[in-house]
Amino acid sequence: MAGPITPQRLASLFRPRSVALVGASDKSNFSAVTYRNLVDFGLGDRTHLVNRRGAETHGRPTVTSCREIGEPVDVAFMMVPQAGTLDALSDAAAAGIRNAVVLSAGYGEAGEAGRAAQAELVAHAESLDMVLLGPNQLGFANFVHRTPVTPIPGLPDASGPVALLSQSGASSSAMLDFAGIAGADLSYMVTLGNEAMVTAGHVLDYLVDDEHTRAIAIFLETVRDPGVFRAAARRAAAAGKPIVALKAGSSELAARTAAAHTGALVGDDRTVDAVFRDLGVIRVDSIEDMLITAGTAARLGRLARPGIGVVSISGGACDILADRAEDLGAELPPFAPATEQALDAMMPTYGTVHNPLDVTGAAIIDPTLFTRAIEAVSADPGVGVVAVVNSLPWASDGRPYSGQVFADAIGDGIANAAGPVVYVNQVLQPITAYTREVMARARVPHAIPGLRQAVVALRNLAWWSEATRDSATGTPQAGTPVVVSEGAPRRGAWSETAARDLLAGAGIPVVPGETATSARQAVKAATGFGGPVAMKIVSPDILHKSDIGGVRLGVAGDDAVAAAYDEITTAASNVAGARVEGVLVSPLRSGGTELLVGVVRDPDWGPVLAVALGGVFVEVLGDSALSPLPVSPARARALLESLRGAPLLHGVRGAPAADLDALGAVVARVGDLALALGNDLESLEINPLHVSGSTIEALDAVLTWRDA
């Protein structure tokens, strides 16, 4: 069986010394382009053509079997039909080849028969101790070591600091082209296909250790091995290598459990959002933003502060940047007094000093105004990166570039700046060979094409810089251990009484309550609480109690309590098959704020915590925040404060402000309990969690278990 797919194991795949093209044929465009790429990159004499008929191919003699090659080969690029792939793998393994790149389709993407064929393919590769990339993909190109094992044409000749991974082979060619015109020069391009064996997470893990790669752009349709992906993403964050992901597919799964509102809040796409935020993965929604962000992140690295300072030749560009920054949540901080003073001393009297800064036409007369303004803004204590807006050419008219003097002045400012600076072109135009000549003369290392694109890229980089600043500590610390007693059997749903007992045993505050099995017991319980009470049916088969008339609030007086008991139990008796344990009587809580705190187990990512404004408004308002578990009390508080309704927790109209530290501790404890319950748990929900100042109580709870 094949060993673990480690970065060391993948080195022989992605840095091959020699390649065998299995199924080489003059009739195959895949074969012709792959061979031409290898020759163009200098691997022609280390490329072996395997043709089962031994026919001359691409103007060269061939062998009929890998075993005839007679020298070590690192990678076999399989261009044979699906029916011949297993035999081709056996032949390659017999020749000592340990890596296969499988081009052919018709596997996991092609229904039940295809999935069976893919399982057989993987099992066969494992039995041969081979690592398999694909199937249903277009290979890879290592631009650093000049080893292109791909039929994608038009490969760039130079290498750069951005690795591009794509589950879509068909889209990778367009991504490759745009990377070139956006200045996101590539170290690797890897098409992943079906990821039958080597997944995106494995390649990420390999790239974390690659000294030439400083950022990773990845197009995903699904995350096929969440555990491997999560571990690799954490390593990337600790190594200071941003991952920029374009994750396609935002459809929601149906609620994972009909018993809990949480299921409606935690869908596929929202869970991916939460997991990516937790891992420090930058998520974008276009190919352009993915590659421009990755290119910018690779060149600038981690920012010390999130603030963006703008120096522009155009007042109109300043307005556009300010608008987009507001729309997109980018931070353009006001300049510090010392910065304003320095800028005032150099700006013309008709100029206005603020961020974004329009240096006006005075910079045309004196280009050093660019240089000095960049130096001043870069030194501002609130600015983490300076964006300098000016034009760049993309086509030569045969004469020296008339704007070179301004590019040179900007280059001087970049060289003397106290922090990172990026050149921003006003429009989304290509960075051509001529553009690069102009930039090289001016000592400008990187440019972003387009104003909106610049705001997106710099906002993303600022977010990543803050989100991963402390990531070197590794995986999140587990919460406080929770000891869980066995209780009732773990199947179906538990009644509220059983759920309350579980919460209380875990140290989660629960409103007092007594379960009455007669009207007389209900009256006695209400009298003991000394005020209006809430009364609810207790049944593992009736979890949405108000829907069937199983709830009464503000009940006061012996007669009213007795009548409410009879009404509730009568309503429950009309629910076919419902097992009724009694009626829960609790003191009525009013005022304060009601929250939902719930956990649902995602089939890929494990338990996911959701917090939201609670009660009946959970799904109506759609104001919720998610996080994978575990969460610390500080993280739980941050989730609560991210809600649009967070001002309610700070106290409004005379209501007491919530004790957010205590509330964060309770929410984190709910997460700890969910983890302690293990894989049996389907959902755990408190709705509402009543908060009034420092008083925090669970007023209702739902607990469901996964089917055996």
Q: How far apart are CA 373 and CA 362, in angstroms?
A: 12
Report pLDDT digits (tens) over 89-116.
999 999 999 999 999 999 988 889 999 9
Output DSSP code: residue 23.
T
Q: How far apart are CA 628 and CA 129, in angstroms?
A: 35
Residue 147 has pLDDT above 90, yes or no: yes
Cβ–Cβ < 8 Å for 648, 664: no
Answer yes or no: same fold for 512-587 and 593-705.
Answer: no
Q: How far apart are CA 581 and CA 569, in angstroms?
A: 10
The partner residues of 698 in beta bridges, in order of sequence, read: 510, 689
Q: How far is CA 608 from CA 267, 345, 467, in A?
A: 10, 54, 19
Query: What average pLDDT does the segment 678-684 reach?
Result: 91
Backbone angles phi, psi at 690, to 5 degrees: -85, 130
Q: How far apart are CA 409 and CA 272, in angstroms?
A: 44
Which of left, alpha, beta for 269 (phi over 0: left; psi -120 to 50: alpha)? alpha
Report pLDDT digits (tens) over 640-656.
999 988 888 988 776 78
Residue 252 has pLDDT above 60, yes or no: no
Query: Binning pLDDT at 50, 70 and 90, where does residue 267 land?
Result: low
Q: How far is CA 625 from CA 252, 274, 283, 327, 551, in A?
A: 16, 8, 17, 20, 28
Burial of 679 (0-12, 13-18, 19+ CB in 10 A): exposed
Output DSSP code: residue 63.
B
- Strands annotated E in 135-250: 140-142, 147-149, 162-166, 186-191, 215-220, 243-247
pLDDT given for residue 616 in this prediction: 56
The rounded Cα 421 to chain-centroid distance in angstroms is 26
Residue 121 has pLDDT above 60, yes or no: yes
**Under CATH, which number does the domain 156-302 receive?**
3.40.50.261
pTM of the predicted model as reported, rounded to 2 decimal places: 0.90
Cβ–Cβ < 8 Å for 156, 189: no
Report pLDDT digits (tens) over 620-632.
667 889 999 999 9
Report pLDDT digits (tens) over 430-444.
999 999 999 999 999
Residue 706 is encoded by which pair of tokens? 């996964």
Report pLDDT digits (tens) over 152-211.
999 999 999 999 999 988 899 999 999 999 999 999 999 999 999 999 999 999 999 999
Amino acid at 15: R
**Under CATH, which number does the domain 512-587 receive?**
3.30.1490.20
| CATH fold label, 1-137 | Rossmann fold (3.40.50)
Report pLDDT digits (tens) over 483-515.
777 667 788 889 999 999 999 999 999 999 999
DSSP codes, 320-359: HHHHHHHHHT---PPPPHHHHHHHHHHS-TT---SSSEE-
Query: Binning pLDDT at 50, 70 and 90, where does residue 1 land?
Result: very low
Cβ-proximal residues to 707 (8 Å cutoff; 6+ apart), any chain: 491
- At residue 81's C-alpha, the angle toward residues 20 and 200, to 5°, is 70
Q: Mean pLDDT across the chain, nearest whole number?
A: 92
Query: Binning pLDDT at 50, 70 and 90, where does residue 258 land?
Result: very low
Query: Binning pLDDT at 50, 70 and 90, where does residue 250 land?
Result: low
R_g over Cα of the chain: 31
The rounded Cα 512 to chain-centroid distance in angstroms is 41
Q: How far is CA 667 from CA 614, 636, 648, in A?
A: 14, 6, 17
- At residue 418's C-alpha, the angle toward residues 413 and 424, to 5°, is 50
Query: What average pLDDT does the segment 384-397 reach?
Result: 95
| Domains in the chain: boundaries | 1-137, 156-302, 303-467, 512-587, 593-705
Residue 551 is encoded by which pair of tokens? 């709830």
Considering the chain, what percentage of its residues have pLDDT values greater than 70? Answer: 94
| CATH fold label, 593-705 | D-amino Acid Aminotransferase; Chain A, domain 1 (3.30.470)
Question: Which range, 107-116, 283-292, 584-593, 611-620, is most confident?
Answer: 283-292
Collect contacts of 438-442 with beta carbons under 8 A, ≥24 apart.
438/392, 438/393, 438/401, 438/404, 438/407, 439/392, 439/407, 441/404, 441/407, 441/408, 442/404, 442/407, 442/408, 442/410, 442/411
pLDDT given for residue 383 in this prediction: 98
Q: How far apart are CA 318 and CA 324, in angstroms?
A: 10
Query: Binning pLDDT at 50, 70 and 90, where does residue 2 land?
Result: low
Domain with residues 303-467, CATH architecture: 3-Layer(aba) Sandwich (3.40)
Q: How far apart are CA 191 and CA 103, in angstroms?
A: 10
- Strands annotated E in 294-428: 308-312, 357-358, 385-389, 421-425
Q: How far is CA 26 from CA 23, 49, 152, in A?
A: 10, 11, 16
Q: Is 49 helix (H, G, I), strand (E, B) or coil?
A: strand
Half-sphere exposure of 39 (CA within 13 A, CB side): 13
Report pLDDT digits (tens) over 9-47.
999 999 999 999 999 999 999 999 999 999 999 999 999
